[in-house]
Amino acid sequence: MKKRLLLSLLTVWVALTFTFVLVRQMPGDVLHTLALQLQNTHGLAYAQAREMAKLQICYDPDEPIFSQYCTYLSNLAHANLGRSTTYRIPVTQILASALPWTVFITFLSAGFSFALGVTLGFWTAWRRGTWLDPALTFYATLTQAIPDFLLGVMLLLVLGVQLQWLPLRGAYSAETDPGFNLPFLVSLGQHAILPVLAFSIPAIGSWALSAKATATSVLGEDYLQVARAKGLKPWRILRDYLGRNAIVPLISSLATNLGALLGGSMLIETLFGFPGLGYFLAQSIGTRDYPLMQGLFLLSTLAIVAGNLSAEWLSRRIDPRSRR
C-alpha cells in the first residue's frame, strides 16, 4: 500500500506538470485582447498597453515557462495555489468555499444512484428473461441519450414550473442564513433535490446496466447453482454470493466516477445556480485564469487519484482473494 501511495503521488505530479503546460498553451490570448482594449481606451502605444495589461491580469507570459513552473511548485509546497487573476483572491479561498457544495451534491447523488442502480441491476440479472430486463435497458438507454442540460431543463419545467413542488435555483433560500438552524437545513434539502435528480436519473440506469453485466458473468458460476439448489433465499444469494463477487469492480468504478464527477458538473451547476466548482471552472476557462484553472484541475486530479486508491483499498477489504 505504501508503494501505491508513492506511485499516486507521482501520478499527481505528472498530471500537474502536464496541466501546467497545457493550460498555458491554450489558444486565446487574453493578455493580447486586454492590451488592445487598453490601447484604445487609454490612448497608449501597444507595448505600453501590454505592460499595463500584464499588471492588470497579474500574469507575465514573457517569463520563461520553466521559471513560472518553479515558482508554482515552491508555492505549492507551502499550500499556496496562487491568486486568481480575475477575482484577485487566493485560489484556496475559492476552492474552500465551492468544494463543500460540489462534494455535497456529488456524494449525495452518486450514493443515491449507486445504491438504487446496483440493486436494480443485480435483481434484473437474477430475474433474467422477465420484463424487468428490457425495461431496465430501455430506461438506461433513454435517460442516457437525453443530454444532461436537457434533462435539467425538463426537470426544472416539470417539478419547478408546472407542479411548483421545488425551488427553481440555488443551494438554499436567500431568506435563510447558512448555519446549523432548521430553516436553513430544510431549505438545503429542498434545493438539493433538483440537482440530485438531474445527476441521478441517468446515473441509475448506467449503474444498473453495469451491475447487470458484471452479475451476469458471475451468475454462470457453479457455486451459485449450488446455492440455488440448496434452496437459499434469493435475497441471501444476491447478497452473499452474487453481491460479493460482482461488487468489487463496481465499487472500483464508483470511486473513479466520484473523482471525475467532482471536476465536471459545469452544466447542471450553471443551470441551477449552484455555488460549486463547476461555475468557477467555466469562468476560469473563459477568462484564462491560469492559477484558478490549475487549482481546480489539481483538485480533480487529487479526487480521482484518491478515488482510485480507496477503490483498491476497499476491494482488498471486501474481497480477500485479490490480495497477493
Partner 1 sequence: MKIALALLALGLAGCAGQATQPGILCTAGEWDMPPAYHGNPWAPGGVGVARSFVFEALFDYIPETQKLVPRLGRSYHEEGHRLIVELEPGAVWHDGHAFSAQDVVATFQIGFLKGMEIWSYLDRIEAQDEHTVVFHWKIDSPTNRLLALTEPIVSPAHLNQQHLAVIQALPRGGQTRDLEAEGARRELLFAERPPLPIGTGPFRMRKVTASDMVLDRFEGYYRTQALKGVRIARWGRNEVIWSYLYAGQLDAISPACPYDVAQEILRRNPSLSARKPSDMNEMGLVINCRVKPLNELTFRQGLAYGLDRDAIRQLACGPGDTSQGLSLGLVPSQAEHWLGPQFSKGLTRYNYNPDKARQLLVTPERELEIMAPAGFTDLALLAEAAASQMTKLGVPASVRLVQGELYAQLLMEGKFDLAAVFGAQMGPTVHPSTSEGRFFARDAQLEKACGLPRNSQAEQWVADLRVSMDADQSRELCTRLARLQNESVSFIPCFEKRLLVFVQEGPRVTGWPAPDSPLWSAAPLGVERLYCSLAVQGYLRPAP
Partner 2 sequence: MKRAGWAVLLTFILLALLGPMLIELDGTAHYEERFAAVSWKHWLGTDYAGRDVWAQLVHGSRDIMLIAFSTGAFAVLLALLIGVGSALAGGALDALLVGAIDVFLTVPSFPLMAILSALFRVGNPITFGLLLALWSWPGLARSLRAQVQVLQHREFMEVARLMRMGPWHILWGEIFPNLVPYLSLNFILIARNAITASVGIMMLGLVPLRVENWGMMLNLAAFQSGALFLPQGRLYLLAPLSAIVIFQYSLILVASSLEEYFDPRLRRG
Interface contacts to partner 1, rule CB under 8 A? 27-30, 32-33, 36, 38-44, 48, 51-52, 55-56, 84, 86-89, 93-94, 97-98, 112, 116, 149, 153, 156-157, 160-161, 164-175, 186-187, 189-190, 192-193, 270-275, 279-280, 283, 286-288
Q: Report d(CA 192, CA 316) in Å as an integer.
A: 34
Query: Which CB sits closer to partner 1, 126 or 274?
Result: 274
Q: Report d(CA 275, CA 266) in Å as an integer.
A: 11
Separation in Å, CA 20 to CA 28, 54, 96, 238, 307? 16, 19, 21, 47, 22
Q: Residue 304 binds what, of partner 1, partner 2, none (CB under 5 to 8 Å, by partner type)?
A: partner 2
Q: Report d(CA 252, CA 239) in Å as an integer.
A: 18
Binding site for partner 2 (CB under 8 A): 3, 7-8, 10-12, 14-15, 18-19, 22-23, 25-28, 128-129, 134, 137-138, 141-142, 144-147, 149-150, 153-154, 157, 206, 209-210, 213-214, 216-217, 219-220, 245, 248-249, 252-253, 256-257, 259-260, 263, 285, 293, 297, 300-301, 304-305, 308, 311, 315, 319, 321-322
Q: Could you write out the DSSP letters of every residue in 58-123?
A: T--TTS-HHHHHHHHHHHHHTT---B-TTT-SBHHHHHHHHHHHHHHHHHHHHHHHHHHHHHHHHH
Q: Residue 203 binds what, of partner 1, partner 2, none (CB under 5 to 8 Å, by partner type)?
A: none
Q: How far is the CB of 267 from partner 2 (least distance, A)?
A: 11
C-alpha cell at 38: 487598453
Q: How far is the CB of 56 from partner 1 (least distance, A)?
A: 8
Q: How far is the CB of 173 from partner 1 (least distance, A)?
A: 5
Query: Which CB sits closer to partner 1, 84 or 315?
Result: 84
C-alpha cell at 284: 476560469
Q: Which of 218, 209, 213 is nearest to 238 (CA)?
A: 218
Q: Residue 305 binds what, of partner 1, partner 2, none (CB under 5 to 8 Å, by partner type)?
A: partner 2
Integer-rounded Cα Rg, in Å, for the chain is: 24
Cβ neighbourhood burial of 70 (10 Å; 0-12, 13-18, 19+): exposed
